[in-house]
Structure 1
Amino acid sequence: MASSSANLWVLLGLGLAGILLMTRKLKKVVKEDFGAFIERFELLPPPQPAPPKAPHPLTGLSFAVSDVFDIDGFVTGFGNPDWAKTHESASRTSAVVSALIEGGATCIGKTVVDEMAYSISGENKHYDTPTNPAAPARVPGGSSSGAAVAVAANLVDFSLGIDTVGGVRVPAGYCGIIGFRPSYGAVSHMGIVPVSTSLDTVGWFAKDPNILRRVGHVLLQVPFAVQRNPRNIIIADDCFQLLKIPVDRVAQVVIKSTEKQFGRQVLKHENLGAYLDSKVPSLKTFHSKKSNGEVKSSSLRLLANVMQLMKRHEFKHNHEEWINSVKPTLDPVISAQIRETLEIVDAEIENFHAIRNEMRSALNSLLKDDGILAIPTIADPPPKLGGKEISSEDYLIRASSLLSLASISGCCQVTVPLGSHDRCPVSLSLIARHGGDRFLLDTLQTMYANLQEQADIAAKSKLSSKSFSQETSAETAKEKGNQAYKDKQWQKAISFYTEAIKLRGNNATYYSNRAAAYLELGSFHQAEADCTKAIDLDKKNVKAYLRRGTAREMLGYYREAIEDFRYALVLEPTNKRASLSADRLRKLFQ
């Protein structure tokens, strides 16, 4: 009995020792490369030119490339071992990789991608999932997961990825680094395995906005231009409502940063879905064909569906023959989606192209040459490794609703890290018109330090997230009320202003605005009461005096009305409305 007990303790001891050794080994592997690389090699730049010629623009920088870029003498694996086994080594290096090497940078290897660069999770069962340095228990995001991890872990100065439906933007957001998706067609696709030809773009990651910009100047080959500040920074309020973290943690950062950097007059708010409703009529055609009696979907949700259908259709067109002939071991999600992708008729393809063209025109019209659209990069924090949420339809629709804006329009977009919330990275995205790549890179360079400062302030603020959220939600409700008022939907405006008052009842503007809507409906007692409340909160609210004067005049309280108009004149001596109203009433009733 004693002998058996001793043997048991020996076995337990050996088991614990083995676990400790494996843990140490795992930590060593993670510490070294975080599982980011598939292959290591070194491609050196040409010698530096002799003075007085300027050195190469990327001298001293190292980079890695996702395993979708051809490198002469290496097999492009496309995230799948069967693909690697059935394809020859590349006979030439991708044009963008060559340009970066010629620019003075050193390429040190290939990094993991999602299987066939298809997903946005970053998980790959064949090569293991790279470890997210910013949140090790969470997915790194994909498809260019390894490239993002290599930058986040400081293994390289920058890296290349492919962004079809978020392949650069999502991992940048999830790993807490900067990711740039250029305008569609702005960077050569030669020597890259395609996913969806009409959506694919070559993107890049960095931690330093200056490095991101230097890489952009090499790849975009744009002519020199004087740097310009944005004249409009548009906050897409409805997009921020999709966030699963406190809205203010992102929206307030960009608002406060913009106010400090450029002034409040630069800021604008937009309901992007409503704007697209009027500017992208082909979406209605798409909905009428697909709805089958369903409740009308929002423009953002429809765009998400269009993007996913385009990707699946073009992916199947590009790779179905190889899949059918090789019958590779594929992720079940990819297999199911390829099988379920119905043949799309020519008329639907034409409709997709019309949607794309109208989207580009709509965003170009909204942003012009000097506008920036601010949206969340992705609605959800990075899901846990192996979690089911990333394969849910709700997650995919929320993510695609935001990612589809740049993917379908072809506009350029940059993902900007904004610290963390609940130990998960938080990010913001800035979008510029198609072709506005240099302007967007310059704007990021200008705003980056300020954005980081405001993100740090927000993270350390003693104000509760609930208080922050209520303030922003109240402002959003007020803006919706203003829009309804402009559209002469008085009752709807009153509902929105009432919502704002419930959230933040100490704001005089909300009461004064609701009074204006009550006046339009002839509800003079309610208008008078709201104006009185507004004046109690803000003794210098001229509009409240004018509106209360109007309400009192309509109720027959002429003496009190005259006093209101006179007081408005004390605050604003040149106010014509107050002067005319006071004179008219004085002549009639005094």
Structure 2
Amino acid sequence: MDRLYSSMIFQVFGQSLLRNAVYKVSDPQMHQHSLLDSYSETSPSSLAKLKSLLLKYSQFSKKNKKSENKFRIASSGNKTQNPYLLSENTQLFLFFLSVMNLTIKSYLEGIQTHQFSAKEVVNHYLQKAKLLNPKLNACVRFNQNYIDQHLESFSQKSLAALPIMVKDNILIQGELATCCSKMMENYVAPYTATCMQNLEEAGALMIGQTNMDEFAMGSSTESSVYGPSYNPYGENRIPGGSSGGSAVAVAADMAIAALGTDTGGSVRQPAALCGIVGFKPSYGAISRYGVVPMASSLDQVGIFSKTVEDAQLLLSILASKDTHDSTSSAHAEDLKNIEKADPETVRFVVPEEALNDGLDPQIKALFLKKIEALKNAGHSVDIQSLPILKESLAIYYTLMPAEVSTNLSRFDGIRFGHQQSTLECSSLDEYYAKVRGEGFGPEAKRRILLGTFVLSSANYQGYYLKALNAQKKLKSDFSQLFEKYDVILTPTTPEPAWKLGSRTNDPLKMYLADLYTVPANLAGLPALSVPMGWLEDQGEKLPVGIQLMGNKWSDQKLLNIGKLFEENTSL
């Protein structure tokens, strides 16, 4: 049965997941039906209450065959004697229940069992996302023409038009790709990124492009030319960055999964702050062809999902050796095989430096509790000093800006980027300066200047080469550690999501958010963030994550270990 949503209103504020919802369904064989309900609670329990309510009355309607062809769930406060009018056909109830917070696994199962159609679910997510977006600003554009063009054909493929969202620096032919920068405001992609081609061939359907820090430079999504995204779990709090829009989209159930990019933690950090799964694969596992580069030796396409199992499935599709990307590896083909073996005893190691004074006390308490739970479950957890870890931020913020300066030099208003034909300039240098001054935001300029400084002849040897040598030392120390251990365990972030605007004038404090995530990028290792728990900050309950780092090309093994944190409730 083809249900077309004509109205859906979701109000999300703070921790409220559902408030004042109105659904209308149009069906040529039935009268128009509507479901109205109001909740005043500001906690996730409202969603559970709605599920319980729908189940109760769908079961009731099955027992009572004599019912009108209309039904209504009255809003709270309605004191009519007969507020519930139920139809014999309860498919609307069951559909609504079946599409709440879908995972890839449950979506594919629903398609296979004809519980719902791909068109129904895509329309549901698209309408829901459009109504949530004004509050969350997760998505910078919805792609209706793309959806109309591909929905029917993708529905016949293995992923059955799975509704996903994609970060705005990943190219899709014919679509805008602005990197959330004025410099790229009119750029239309001439080709499709390899990672997106792989997903399209499997049948994943992009329904929107997500907000991000300008050119992926930032940890809060506040440097976007479209304005910041908002964390669904806190009032006026950052979602993390630079892939904040993708994290918000999955956390708020605006999409079933999403793609981001991770240069120093830009997938794992927002995933942790939004309470979902974020995975950065080994460097070279997923092609970077068609991804607008920030720092080429560190960039990697990453995955946002609701479960580790979903991330594992997407990795098996995304991983590939690509002739268009010289940094992609033949080892990537091995990651297409999903390992089913459950890990028995896992050898974890916690760097002593990860428990430093900069770690939020509540996060530290949650982390130590996880360590004890792992030990009680039969796994080994050692705490060992890894001194080079303390240098990782300095290494990263030396090498990364150097590559940024080089990569962004092409955006000069002539070859690429923002053009200004009305400027009166006496030389090309003057034109470049004015165009780049208009096109780039403050954070992009800061990193370009820092990178240019590092690469200057006076500083190249003293800064850049020293950082390269320190990076080699970091890789060597990690290799030695993995001879003895399976997983390096740390918190994903040193603190929970902070208030919007509180660090925009303090970039150094902002950079500290990358403390635990940059080492995996510097060493090219796979790293996974899974939800660790909740803490309270200024009266709000906020999610935080725990990070697992594995040896290079142990991606599937690492994901299997990550499942332990989902399957074992004691963890």
Using the size of structure 1 for normalisation, the TM-score is 0.62
Q: What does residue 332 of structure 1 align with?
A: 442
Q: What does residue 523 of structure 2 align with?
A: 409
Give matches, 1:514-533, under 5 Å.
none
Pick one of 322, 327, 331 that aligns with 2:411: 322
Pick one of 353, 364, 368 that aligns with 1:252: 368
Quick one: distance in 2 between partners of 1:303 and 1:400?
A: 10
Quick one: distance in 1 between partners of 2:494 and 2:505?
A: 12
Quick one: distance in 1 between partners of 2:522 and 2:137?
A: 32
Question: Are 1:67 and 2:173 matched, yes or no?
Answer: no
Question: Once the two structures are superposed, what CA deviation does each residue of 1:126-181 show, in whole Å capped at 9, x if it has no partner?
Answer: 21211211223211111111111110110111100111112111111111111101
Cα separation, partners in 2 of 1:46 and 1:29, compared to 1, 3 Å = closer
Identity of aligned residues (%): 26
Q: What does residue 122 of structure 1 align with?
A: 221
Quick one: distance in 2 between partners of 1:415 and 1:33?
A: 26
Q: CA deviation at 1:249?
A: 3.1
Alignment check: 8 A CA contact 1:250 1:376 kept: no
Q: CA deviation at 1:228?
A: 5.5
Pick one of 86, 92, 100 that aligns with 2:199: 100
Question: Are 1:387 and 2:502 matched, yes or no?
Answer: yes
Quick one: distance in 2 between partners of 1:353 and 1:227?
A: 38
Quick one: distance in 1 between partners of 2:508 and 2:439?
A: 24
Q: What does residue 391 of structure 2 align with?
A: 302
Q: What does residue 39 of structure 1 align with?
A: 141
Q: What does residue 402 of structure 2 align with?
A: 313
Q: CA deviation at 1:416?
A: 1.1
Q: What does residue 267 of structure 1 align with?
A: 381
Question: Are 1:436 and 2:538 matched, yes or no?
Answer: no
Q: What does residue 532 of structure 2 align with?
A: 418
For 1:71, the aligned partner's letter is: I
Q: What does residue 473 of structure 2 align with?
A: 358
Alignment check: 8 A CA contact 2:530 2:546 kept: yes
Q: What does residue 318 of structure 2 align with?
A: 219
Give matches, 1:557-568, under 5 Å.
none
Cα separation, partners in 2 of 1:369 and 1:154, compared to 1, 3 Å = farther
Q: What does residue 4 of structure 1 align with?
A: none
Long gaps (5+) in structure 2: 1-128, 320-332, 413-431
Quick one: distance in 2 between partners of 1:110 and 1:133?
A: 18
For 1:419, the aligned partner's letter is: G
Cα separation, partners in 2 of 1:337 and 1:60, compared to 1, 3 Å = closer
Quick one: distance in 2 between partners of 1:141 and 1:379?
A: 12
Q: What does residue 291 of structure 2 align with?
A: 192
Quick one: distance in 2 between partners of 1:303 and 1:200?
A: 16
Long gaps (5+) in structure 1: 1-26, 274-298, 456-590
More helix by share: 1
Q: CA deviation at 1:329?
A: 4.0
Q: CA deviation at 1:446?
A: 3.1
* Rg larger in structure: 1
Question: Once the two structures are superposed, what CA deviation does each residue of 1:443-482 show, in whole Å capped at 9, x if it has no partner?
Answer: 11233232xx346xxxxxxxxxxxxxxxxxxxxxxxxxxx
Residue aligned with 1:251, SS: helix
Query: Quick check: 440-449 or 65-74, which moved more?
Result: 440-449
Quick one: distance in 1 between partners of 2:295 and 2:391?
A: 19
Residue aligned with 1:417, SS: strand
- Two-structure CA RMSD over aligned residues (Å): 2.7
Alignment check: 8 A CA contact 1:81 1:126 kept: yes
Quick one: distance in 2 between partners of 1:330 and 1:306?
A: 24
Question: How many pairs are equivalent?
Answer: 392
Pick one of 268, 284, 288 that aligns with 1:169: 268
Question: Once the two structures are superposed, what CA deviation does each residue of 1:405-431 show, in whole Å capped at 9, x if it has no partner?
Answer: 112111111111123101221111010
Quick one: distance in 2 between partners of 1:170 and 1:98?
A: 26
Q: What does residue 427 of structure 1 align with?
A: 545
Alignment check: 8 A CA contact 1:111 1:146 kept: yes
Residue aligned with 2:248, SS: helix
Alignment check: 8 A CA contact 2:273 2:497 kept: yes
Quick one: distance in 1 between partners of 2:553 and 2:447?
A: 33
Quick one: distance in 2 between partners of 1:33 and 1:159?
A: 19
